[in-house]
Amino acid sequence: MEILKNISSAFWSPDVWLPPNITWNDIAPNSENKYADYRHLAYPIPMALGLLVVRYALEKFCFSPFGLSIGIKPTRTKKAVPNPLLEKAYSKKIKHKQITALAKQLDWSERQVERWLRLRRSQDKPSTLTKFCENSWRCLYYVLIFIYGLVILWDKPWLWDIKHCYYGYPYHAVTDDIWWYYMISMAFYWSLSISQFFDVKRKDFWQMFIHHKATIILMCFSWVGNLTRIGSLVLVVHDCADIFLEAAKMAKYASYQKTCDAIFGIFTVLWLITRMGIYPLWIIHSTSIAAPKIVPMFPAYYIFNSLLILLFILHVIWTRLILKIAYNAFYAGQMEGDIRSDSSEEISDETSNNVQANNSASNHSKSASDMQH
């Protein structure tokens, strides 16, 4: 017990988390000032479960019926013909030698066996309606949270002059609107961390996994260190473009190609402005250059700033993918395939078909975000 107490004492040392000569008692929540309370970081976890319930209810009673009404099919049209021998082989990893053996047993060509396996794999993948519902939920969330964030920050001085994020630090009280903004946003990213293992599997699964974890850790750091002002700006900047990413995917699944291309164009412009412009040139520049001139630096701040930079590195990776998609869309006349591919196998199948039809470049994947965004 004594060892755990010493470890906890070292971890929560004010010399690590706070500016010099500041103690936890100085920013302890009281009746006069509602400073950030680290104990409140437990709230987003049950809230995340609540969001998942709301999500699945909306998908079942709102998004799914709407998707069906605009012609999105609930299941894939092509199915593999039932075949016990191939079904047994399908449950295991199949090598080329096994395909040859199966073809001889069934008196089929290897091409027929491979086609059956492709169709069988396709059956296990989520339907277009499932993907449409998933993106509808994210689009609705980003619309609501972006509007809420913009409304509550509109009268905040740090939205118009970012130096107010550092003036008087760490004595920054957390108002009720900022409290809810943080709690709901963290709950959403916790819900994504849970649902990611059950949702449509994307090629950028691990990039998104890192993104969600980095976002949660970043928000926790900013909350514990009372850096909620800069944290709120990071949130509102990231939520903007994600609205149009999810909307573009919805249009794609609904087969509204021209609408999809137009929305994706808006998304690309907003992404470049917010993620590659405002975020590094306004936010990261202020945290790296302006903040040290106003606030004495401390270890936790360097970690916080490093996480901001890690987030930007992920943006750079995704920007490369987005620009390739935009280039291919311009070159081929329309955006080919899904904006984020479901899996490596599906990329190969869709790409080969697109190359034969359009002689265009191969399909590329992108997330969003949720930071979401």
> Higher model confidence: residue 288 or residue 210?
288
Give residue 82's pLDDT.
78
pTM of the predicted structure, to 2 decimals: 0.80
Q: Give Cα 57 distance to the centre of its chain.
A: 21
H helix intervals, 59-109: 64-69, 84-90, 96-106
Least confident window among 12-21, 285-294, 363-372 = 363-372
Per-residue pLDDT at 95 exceeds 80:
no
18: helix, strand or coil = coil
What is the amino acid identity at position 106? L
CA distances from 277 to 248, 270, 311, 372 (A): 22, 10, 14, 17
Give residue 367's pLDDT.
35
Per-residue pLDDT at 202 exceeds 80:
no
Give residue 184's pLDDT.
97
Exposure string of 119-129, with b = 16+ CB inside 10 Å and e = fewer, is: ebebeebebbb
The pair of three-digit structure tokens given for residue 251, joined into one six-digit string: 């249009």
Name the percent of the chain lying above pLDDT 70.
84
Q: What is the per-residue pLDDT across 305-331, written as a single tens digit (0 to 9) for each?
A: 998 998 899 899 889 989 988 888 777
Least confident window among 107-111, 222-226, 342-346 = 342-346
89: helix, strand or coil = helix
CA distances from 252 to 43, 95, 339 (A): 36, 34, 8
pLDDT band of 114, cuts 50, 70, 90: confident
Rounded CA separation 143/129 (Å): 21
Rounded CA separation 178/153 (Å): 8
**C-beta of residue 161 within 8 angstroms of C-beta of residue 233:** no
Nearest to 123 by CA among 168, 82, 64, 66: 82
The pair of three-digit structure tokens given for residue 218, joined into one six-digit string: 């970043």
